[in-house]
Amino acid sequence: MKQAIKIGLIGGVVEILLSLIGMVEAFSQRDIIAHVISMGHTLLIIVALFMGYLAAKRTPGKGSLWVLANSFLSGLIVGGLVSLLVIVGSLIDLRKVFVNAMPVLYELLTFKQGTQIGVFLLLGAGALSGVLAGLFFLSPKLLRRVLLISLGSVVGAGVLQDLLRPTFSLWGPLAIINEWLFTANGLTIQGAIGLFVLIAALLLFWSRKGSVIQTGFRQLPPAPQRILKMSGILILVFILLILPQVLGLFLSEVFTIVGLYVLLGLGLNIVVGYAGLLDLGYVAFFAIGSYTTAVLTSPELGFFSLSFWEALPFVIVMGVFSGVLLGTPVLKMRGDYLAIATLGFGEIIRILVLSDFLRPWLGGAQGIGKIPKASIAGFEFAGPQQIYYLILAGCLLVIFISLRLRDSRLGRAWMAMREDEDVAQAMGINLVATKLLAFATGAGFSALSGAIFATKLSSVYPHSFNVMISINIVCVIIVGGMGSIPGVIVGAAALVGLPELLREFAEYRLFVYGAALVAMMLLRPEGLWPEAVHRREFHEEEEKEAESKSSLELKSG
């Protein structure tokens, strides 16, 4: 009971905060389902539902009535606190402190029914959300999954409507779906219900037949199994290849940005995820890659005026070399000290390229422009739809190298070093070489990414390489799952792609970003797509039953 009150109070405070900073109001501009529910209300309901679920989960005895009572109570308190805000707001003008506490907000919160009826509606809505969450908690696991994913898809489709609508309208046959699914603002009612039913049906089908299909697949002889796998990969490659044509300009641009972060993330993943060396100055290598490309190719400076491809090997070598250069002085440092030292290195590089002293060579604050585009046999990687292919190729190459490295002798040395540096040494691992190789490989990947970045923008400026980039990349690999390659891709999509897609709410971007990071660390500290070793650490009990496969075949080399 105490728990439920506490959770309810937290939820209420969160909702009041969201309202007062204007997030609810801003989100209400967009409807999830046209004329039925807006994003703002969805946000409030999600908070109430989550708190109700939490209250249900924390109920000491497992009696269903108690669970429901607790979730009801927490929902009621959430609603109560919000109504309190409405009442206070109707009596006192809060706008002097909270500029967003406008009448529009109260209208939204009271469902345009005026203060008195609105307060009751709010209490009711809160309590109802709580009870629904409680019922959700009590329902069987399959139902919970289906409900969660189906509802999530509907909300997701609503949130990303601006993305899906133009994409669908590019293609004739999809345009009909477009008409049926979307209005100018929000999903149609039949569209929302249809989508919900479709996803739910798919999930139910998979839960019934999924294991049958999987075992059926495993029982197939190896030859057809391989053919099926290969065709799966081919389809994936085909989709990746036609993606920019289907998605159009804006989305291709988003994809290239995500792709660049994937490249950077994969590089840092070697340093942090594989070798366990926390590097907060990783942007330095990105800058070195970009600036080396600029200096070698830009006719503006007129030193070399190489083409992109001629410059690329030098860029990579430069990256690797600077990796070793940074690595050497910090060889003996560990953990926090290493992080601070590398942070310093990142800033040094940024200040160097900004300096007046190096202006004749690096352009100072004006940066370097007129960097040529890359081209192969007359095909110029000019706009985002073309650069996409360049980045895709880079990502595939780096993923391939990462995979091979992970399973190599060097990969095992990195892993040992990450787990325990002293013992790794006692196992006969050369710490100096192993560390330097990690820094060098990571820096090489980052320099490649920097080269593509430079030709993408056709120019480089010092301010593109601030410390936030380093922090962002670290976040990408932590959220994705340390040491996991698919994790990097998922992390980049979630932390870089989503904010790009939700540009209209740019004011709240950092707020959501921060909140999402905190929530991630609380709910899923191992990352969205964790690597086996880390999953074990956080979910030992579950793993014990599942046969943990020993993926570490010792390679002679």
Partner 1 sequence: MPYALCVVKVEVMALLEIENIHTYYGHIHALKGVSFDVNRGEIVTLIGANGAGKSTMLKTTSGLLRPRQGSIRLEGEDLTRYRPHEVVAKGVVQVPEGRRIFGRLTVKENLEMGAFTINDQRLVESNLERVFNLFPRLRERQKQVGGTLSGGEQQMLATGRALMANPSVLLMDEPSMGLAPVLVDIIFDTIRQLHADGTTILLVEQNARMALQVASRGYVLQTGAILLSDNAENLRRNEMVRKAYLGES
Query: Residues in the site for partner 1, rule: CB under 8 A?
Result: 409, 412-413, 415-416, 419-420, 422-423, 425-431, 533-534, 536-537, 540, 543-544, 547-548, 550, 552, 554, 556-557
Distance CA 404, CA 386 (A): 28
For residue 100, what are its two tokens?
Answer: 């967003």
Q: Which is nearer to partner 1, 274 or 282 (CB)?
A: 274
On the 0-12 / 13-18 / 19+ scale of CB atoms within 10 A, 169 is middle
Least distance between partner 1 and beta carbon 148 (Å): 30
Q: Which is nearer to partner 1, 404 or 463 (CB)?
A: 404
Distance CA 353, CA 463 (A): 10
Least distance between partner 1 and beta carbon 272 (Å): 16
For residue 422, what are its two tokens?
Answer: 């002293």
Distance CA 267, CA 255 (A): 18
Least distance between partner 1 and beta carbon 174 (Å): 46
Q: Which is nearer to partner 1, 336 or 547 (CB)?
A: 547
Least distance between partner 1 and beta carbon 48 (Å): 38
Supply the angle between the helices 222-268 and 161-170 in degrees, to the nearest 10.
130
The H or E element spanning position 380 is strand 379-380
Q: Which is nearer to partner 1, 311 or 415 (CB)?
A: 415
Q: Which is nearer to partner 1, 356 or 540 (CB)?
A: 540
Q: Which is nearer to partner 1, 140 or 428 (CB)?
A: 428
Distance CA 495, CA 46 (A): 20
Q: Which is nearer to partner 1, 178 or 425 (CB)?
A: 425
With CA atoms as reference, report the closest residue to 322 among 439, 240, 173: 439
Q: Which is nearer to partner 1, 431 or 467 (CB)?
A: 431
Least distance between partner 1 and beta carbon 405 (Å): 16
Distance CA 513, CA 518 (A): 9
Q: Which is nearer to partner 1, 429 or 489 (CB)?
A: 429
N residues, the chain = 557
Count CB atoms within 10 A of the CB of residue 360: 9
Least distance between partner 1 and beta carbon 407 (Å): 13
Q: Which is nearer to partner 1, 94 or 532 (CB)?
A: 532
Place of tokens 């992109």: 308
Least distance between partner 1 and beta carbon 434 (Å): 9
Q: Taken in order 402, 533, 332, 478, is the CA torsion positive or negative?
A: positive
The CA-based diameter of the chain, rounded to the nearest angstrom, is 78
Least distance between partner 1 and beta carbon 544 (Å): 8
Q: What are phi and psi of 221, to 5 degrees?
A: -60, 155
Q: Which is nearer to partner 1, 219 or 556 (CB)?
A: 556
SS3 of 368, please? strand
Residues contacting 255, CB < 8 A, separation 6+: 243, 244, 247, 384, 388, 391, 497
Least distance between partner 1 and beta carbon 428 (Å): 3
The H or E element spanning position 49 is helix 39-57
Residues contacting 53, CB < 8 A, separation 6+: 71, 133, 134, 136, 137
Distance CA 531, CA 553 (A): 16
Q: Which is nearer to partner 1, 429 or 469 (CB)?
A: 429
Least distance between partner 1 and beta carbon 431 (Å): 7
Least distance between partner 1 and beta carbon 437 (Å): 14
The full 3-state SS of 253-315, as one line of letters, equals HHHHHHHHHHHHHHHHHHHHHHCCCCCCCCHHHHHHHHHHHHHHHCCCCCCCCCCHHHHHHHH
Least distance between partner 1 and beta carbon 187 (Å): 45
Q: Which is nearer to partner 1, 221 or 557 (CB)?
A: 557
The full 3-state SS of 313-362, as one line of letters, equals HHHHHHHHHHHHHHHCCCCCCCHHHHHHHHHHHHHHHHHHHHCCCCHHHH
Least distance between partner 1 and beta carbon 477 (Å): 17
